[in-house]
């Protein structure tokens, strides 16, 4: 009898959870933060992977096949998710776009076409790189989890309140501790950072990519080298999925420093949570600028 009860508890523990799949590790971590023990979550893209291009593997369809909810980034970042969702043949799956309540940046005006590069017609999709947007994402996730797991509604709401409070405290600390980053000029490899730069006051001067998604050309590199020399730009930052060959080449021609920033949870060692993402990136930037807040 005792064994049967233990088995029953174990069964309900393992199978009573809401199963969630997300497009990225950032969304997965926020699901963990607000879902706690009541959810099982897995991400399709790895943290060090370019979220624009994810190969559509049948094994991803198997992950989604068992899921209750799929949280996607939206804004045309994870267009590949649609093929995975279709291929999963999961009839009960609910798909949630986490971008719906975000105040989008860089929404193009007028006609958008491929001559502009890999531009996102509904706005820049890297919105999770602002902690304030993390709170909006968490609210959407909480609403969906609560709707599906009504018994856990209070639990999710409490976890959300705790998450929002921790974000507020962390943000207050980061804005104070790294206030000397405000106004610092920076060149990014790809335009992944407008939300991050706006939140922490960095001044984005240019990008290594001549247009989004387009490999840096020799003429663009020359232009960047001149720009660095004439404007005393100290830093080039790139995502971990890009080769460091181009930034290092520019560094040999100028006095610029190069760093890799974590574009997502898991992109760099030690970045295991949504909070680590900001803490690590801000420390890397601060150290590279010689501001030393350690």
Partner 1 sequence: MDKQIVGGLLLTAFLFGQTTINPDFSVIGDLIIDQSEDEIGLSSAGIEMVIQGYVNPFARADVYIHKHNDESALELEEAVITIERGLPLGLGLRAGKFRPDIGKINKDHAHLFPFIQAPKSMANILGEEFWSPTGLEGSILLPLPWYTKLSIGYFDEGFGGHKHMLNDKSNEDDDYQGKDEEEGLSNGVLSGRWSHFIDLNDVTHLEVGASGYSGDEKSLLGADLKFKWRPDKYRSLTIQGEVFQLNENREAHENDLNSQYDEENDKVKIIGYTFINYQFNKAWNMGLIGDFSTFDISDDEEDKYVDKSNYNFALFFGYSPVEESSVLRIRIAPDGDDINLMAQLIWSLGPHKPHRY
Contacting residues for 16 by C-beta, under 8 A, at least 6 apart: none
Query: Segment near partner 1 (CB under 8 A), from 21-29, 45-53, 128-136, 170-178?
Result: 45-53
Find the binding residues for partner 1 in span 261-290 (CB under 8 A).
none
Instruction: Tell me 151's DSSP state.
Output: G
Closest to partner 1 by CB, 55 or 292: 55
Rounded Cα distance, 164 and 161, in Å? 5
91 forms part of the interface with partner 1 (CB under 8 A): yes
Rounded Cα distance, 113 and 206, in Å? 21
Smallest separation (angstroms) from partner 1 to the CB of 168 = 35
Query: Which of residues 156, 241, 278, 289 is near partner 1 by CB under 8 A?
Result: 241
Closest to partner 1 by CB, 122 or 158: 122
Please tell me the count of residues contacting partner 1 according to CB under 8 A: 27
Query: Segment near partner 1 (CB under 8 A), from 5-13, 21-29, 81-89, 253-261?
Result: 81-89
Query: Closest Cα partner for 79 from 23, 31, 137?
Result: 23
Q: 123 is written with which tokens?
A: 């706005």
Find the binding residues for partner 1 in span 92-121 (CB under 8 A).
114, 118
13 forms part of the interface with partner 1 (CB under 8 A): no
Closest to partner 1 by CB, 80 or 195: 80
50 forms part of the interface with partner 1 (CB under 8 A): yes
Angle (CA) 212 217 222, round 5°: 115
Query: Segment near partner 1 (CB under 8 A), from 48-56, 136-144, 226-234, 275-283?
Result: 48-56
- Cβ 228 vs Cβ 185: under 8 Å: no
189 forms part of the interface with partner 1 (CB under 8 A): no
Query: Which of residues 37, 86, 101, 162 is near partner 1 by CB under 8 A?
Result: 86
Can you tell me which residue has the tokens 């926020």? Answer: 30
Distance of CA 85 to the CA centre of its chain: 20
Distance of CA 27 to the CA centre of its chain: 7
139-148 b/e (C-beta count within 10 Å ≥ 16 → b): bbbbebbbee
Query: Which of residues 42, 48, 153, 223 is near partner 1 by CB under 8 A?
Result: 48
Contacting residues for 278 by C-beta, under 8 A, at least 6 apart: 131, 170, 174
176 forms part of the interface with partner 1 (CB under 8 A): no
46 forms part of the interface with partner 1 (CB under 8 A): yes
What are the residues facing 149 on neighbouring strands? Answer: none
230 forms part of the interface with partner 1 (CB under 8 A): no
Query: Segment near partner 1 (CB under 8 A), from 16-24, 87-95, 130-138, 181-189?
Result: 87-95
213 forms part of the interface with partner 1 (CB under 8 A): yes
Work out the number of other CB atoms within 10 angstroms of the CB of residue 255.
Answer: 10
Rounded Cα distance, 82 and 32, in Å? 23
Note the residues at the interface with partner 1 (CB under 8 A): 46, 48-50, 53, 55-59, 61-62, 65, 80, 83, 86-87, 89, 91, 114, 118, 213-215, 241-243
């Amino acid at each position: 009898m005792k064994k049967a009860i233990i088995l029953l508890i174990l069964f309900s523990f393992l199978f009573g959870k809401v199963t969630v799949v997300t497009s990225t590790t950032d969304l997965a971590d926020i699901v963990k933060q607000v879902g706690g023990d009541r959810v099982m979550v897995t991400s399709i893209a790895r943290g060090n992977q370019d979220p624009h291009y994810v190969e559509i593997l049948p094994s991803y369809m198997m992950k989604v096949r068992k899921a209750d909810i799929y949280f996607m980034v939206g804004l045309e970042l994870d267009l590949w998710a649609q093929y995975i969702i279709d291929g999963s043949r999961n009839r009960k799956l609910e798909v949630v776009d986490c971008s719906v309540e975000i105040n989008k940046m860089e929404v193009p005006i007028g006609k958008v076409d491929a001559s502009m590069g890999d531009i996102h017609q509904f706005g820049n999709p890297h919105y999770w790189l602002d902690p304030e947007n993390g709170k909006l994402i968490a609210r959407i996730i909480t609403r969906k989890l609560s709707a599906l797991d009504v018994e856990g509604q209070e639990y999710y709401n409490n976890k959300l309140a705790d998450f929002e409070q921790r974000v507020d405290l962390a943000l207050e600390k980061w804005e104070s501790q790294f206030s000397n980053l405000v106004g610092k000029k920076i060149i990014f490899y790809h335009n992944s950072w407008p939300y991050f730069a706006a939140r922490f006051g960095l001044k984005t001067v240019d990008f290594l990519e001549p247009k989004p998604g387009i490999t840096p050309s020799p003429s663009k590199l020359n232009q960047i080298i001149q720009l660095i020399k004439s404007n005393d730009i100290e830093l080039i930052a790139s995502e971990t999925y890009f080769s460091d060959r181009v930034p290092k080449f520019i560094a040999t021609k100028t006095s610029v420093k190069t760093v890799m920033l974590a574009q997502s949870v898991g992109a760099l060692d030690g970045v295991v949570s949504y909070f680590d993402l900001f803490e690590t990136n801000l420390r890397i930037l601060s150290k590279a600028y010689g501001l030393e807040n350690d």
